Copies of this chain bind each other. A is one copy, B any other.
């Protein structure tokens, strides 16, 4: 039990630091989030971070993982529901809008994940850890599209490219939504995006 208690305390510290890192990265962007500011945000000394994370890279990496799995879980719940492709699509859009709305700053971290910056070494590291996450996300959606094609719900088109188009197009609208001071009701945007994806814009 004593052992377990230490572990709990340790886990708590790690979580505190990760949360602080997420807030600072979301506020300042990946490249200009400093260890000092993260430490201040967490209410601890800069050196303490190094007791729980090897270096800055590891902290950033773990922060990404933690943040992404949150979003991933929600989307997964929406995808695993039984129903038509259309229903799944709407559920996924709702989950994403909901998540980005609740974590208004998170989209910045999400963007950093896709387009890493920093030193060449940092970039390599980030690519190795973050791009697979993005790629598996794209492949997950591509898989859903393939199923829908097999069931004849949607046309036969390159699933990977389709998935990319849908993900990035939706993201752009959702990000605009988040930046918008007075966004329209979520249903309106879901309607717009889902309609656009399913039926296009031709009258």
Contact = CB atoms under 8 A, between A and B. Distances in A.
Interface of A: 28-32, 111-112, 115-120, 122-123, 145, 152-155, 157-158, 160-162, 164-173, 176, 189, 192-193, 195-203
A162 B188 CA distance: 13
Counting every copy of the chain, the complex holds 2
Given A170-B165, A173-B161, A196-B165, A153 B203 contact: yes
A174 B192 CA distance: 23
Contacts of A168: 168-169, 171-172
B173 A164 contact: yes
Contacts of A145: 201
A71 to B, nearest CB: 18
Contact of A164 (B112, B116, B164, B172): B172
Given A168-B169, A200-B200, A202-B198, A32 B155 contact: no
10 contacts: A32-B122, A32-B123, A111-B115, A152-B203, A157-B201, A160-B176, A162-B196, A166-B169, A169-B169, A200-B200
A154 B202 CA distance: 4
Contacts of A189: 161
Given A165-B170, A168-B171, A192-B161, A203 B117 contact: no
Contact of A118 (B29, B165, B197): B29
